[in-house]
Structure 1
Amino acid sequence: MTRESSNPKPSPNDKIYGITNIKSYVPLLLDLDRLNYDSWKELFKTHYIGYKWLYGTLTQSVLQSILKPNATAADVWKTIEDLFHENKETEAMELDDELRSITIGDSTVMEYCTRIKSISDLLANIGSPVLERNLVIYAINGLSHKFTHVVTTIRHQKPFPTFLEMRSMLTLEERSMAKDHSRHVQASHQDNASSPTILTTEYQNRPSHYRLNNTRGRGGGRNQRGGSRGGQNGGRGGVR
């Protein structure tokens, strides 16, 4: 027997079955909330074999939606594809409307931009990507009036900024406004702090009988001094 026959080359199937953990090769979990079928498919196609591997790359909600008894790998694949593509156009229109009408509200700039990017990613996952220029326009259209100055700068900037550049500009403006607000609050506290006002308030807040007793004490002292003087004058008159 030759050396070659004793050590046969591994077949493609042997290599495939040698993969014990499909998640090492397909780290992306197929998720209805993320609408990430196309990305998942590209990662999985190269390593696709057997329905058990398919099940290992699905979220629990997707798995429950497509699980069928005695299904082949081809059946499972077709069911998954239909699940993600059956309402794709409707989903795209709803996400696009949400993106066009989005507003910052009470969110921070980072929270606001994260929401916009998430919607944009969902649209890209279902085959309806948004141009980055439009993404920037949607973002600045939803800002509040306090960002008017930086929005004007963004609109007239050449070349037009990317989404990340716009986010950086808005973040810097937000920090600047926060510092100005902090300085204003500190200055207001310093202007209102006055010791004479505090002392006057303390005196006015004393009980009325305390002020009355003090007044009577001062008056009584004057009368006593007057009485003493009268007694002295009377004594002098007696000698005379």
Structure 2
Amino acid sequence: MPTSPATSPSQSSSTLAPTGTSAAPAILVAPYATISVKNHIPVTLELAKPNFNQWEPFFSSLCGKFGLLSHVDGTAKANPTDPAWAIADSYVRGWLLGSAGPDVLGLAAAPNQTARELWVAIKRLFEANKAPRAIFLGHEFHSMTQGDSSINDYAQRMKATADALRDVGRTITDSELVLNFLRGLNPRFAGTADNIADSHPLSDFATAREKLVLKEVRLTNEGTVATQTAFHASCGIACCTISSTTSDGSIADRHGGNNDGSSSGGGQGGGGGRWKKKGRGGSQSRGGHRPPALLVAP
């Protein structure tokens, strides 16, 4: 049975043209048309940080997934007359525009650029003035201290500065990073820092950070326990003295009374303990032995 045009496996409704008319031109759809650049490049390229070395691996990986690295590294000649090349180049240029910050695009972007031209302009921004930037970043790196910040915050600042130095051609080795990291620590981590520095071989940066974070947790816990102990001890001392006010406005202090109404000194009288009443006429004792009364003749 012959196959009808409507059911032919070699044809589809999108390619069929009405009878008596010429066929519509084929629509070229790239396999990366639905790519969201933010899902593949979570880092925004910025001059203020700067973070080119952190951003570049994400961008190169995205281009490599679809075989488009030649559009930025210059390994293939540009071919704007080829529709397939032009579409691919537009996507790569769009990824650059979508993953760079306004400060970068304001200096690097221009009308009618190819992806390669935009890439070169962006890279030039981060490679300019390498010598003076290396001096300033080197001073910042070697004078950095932890202060009151946490170990993780301090480690992030140290690593970001080391990455910025790498951007300007000054590579920081891992051992140099570790030793500089230990140098700027808060003095309360001195013991742990000495242990890390004396280890052979020297711990890498990630391991050193993990050891110091663990020490930080222990110190925080010990400080919390000490504070709670001091608080309970002060409460116990404060509760040893009970003060009350009598009906006539004088102050009565009770010392050493027991819960059962007896006095620690064995005194007599109801209520237990020894009460000292302080009023305008001096002090008056109640409980225990009373002094004999004085009789005065008229």
What is the TM-score with the length of structure 2 in the denominator?
0.57
Structure 1 residues 196 and 213, CA, compared in 2 at 3 Å: closer, same or farther? farther
Does residue 57 (structure 1) correspond to residue 99 (structure 2)? The answer is: yes
Q: Please state whether the residue corresponding to 1:159 is helix, strand or coil.
A: coil
Query: Given residue 156 of structure 1, which amino acid in structure 2 is its aligned partner?
Result: D
Distance between the aligned counterparts of 1:52 and 1:132, measured in 2? 36
CA drift of 1:164 comes to: 1.6
RMSD: 4.0
Match of 2:224 in 1: 182
1:87 to 129, 140, 144: 129
Give yes or no for contact 2:178–2:204 (8 Å, CA) kept in 1.
yes
CA drift of 1:39 comes to: 3.1
Distance between the aligned counterparts of 2:95 and 2:209, measured in 1? 40
Match of 1:160 in 2: 202
Distance between the aligned counterparts of 1:212 and 1:152, measured in 2? 67
Structure 1 residues 200 and 171, CA, compared in 2 at 3 Å: closer, same or farther? same
Distance between the aligned counterparts of 2:130 and 2:58, measured in 1? 16
2:173 to 104, 124, 131: 131
Whose helix proportion is higher, 1 or 2?
Answer: 1
Identity of aligned residues (%): 22
| Deviations 1:121-178, CA, capped at 9 Å, x for gaps | 3334444332111111001100132222112211211221111211122122222222
Structure 1 residues 64 and 72, CA, compared in 2 at 3 Å: closer, same or farther? same
> Does 1 or 2 have the higher relative contact order (CA < 8 Å, sep 6+)?
1
Q: Which has the higher mean CA deviation after the structures are superposed, 152-161 or 177-186? A: 177-186
Does residue 31 (structure 1) correspond to residue 31 (structure 2)? The answer is: no
Query: For structure 2, which runs of at least 5 residues remain unmatched after alignment?
Result: 1-9, 13-27, 72-88, 253-276
Does residue 171 (structure 1) correspond to residue 213 (structure 2)? The answer is: yes
Query: Given residue 169 of structure 1, which amino acid in structure 2 is its aligned partner?
Result: K
CA drift of 1:105 comes to: 0.4
CA drift of 1:71 comes to: 4.0
Distance between the aligned counterparts of 1:176 and 1:18, measured in 2? 50
Structure 1 residues 72 and 108, CA, compared in 2 at 3 Å: closer, same or farther? closer
Match of 2:35 in 1: 21
What is the TM-score with the length of structure 1 in the denominator?
0.68
Distance between the aligned counterparts of 1:169 and 1:86, measured in 2? 38
Query: Given residue 51 of structure 2, which amino acid in structure 1 is its aligned partner?
Result: L
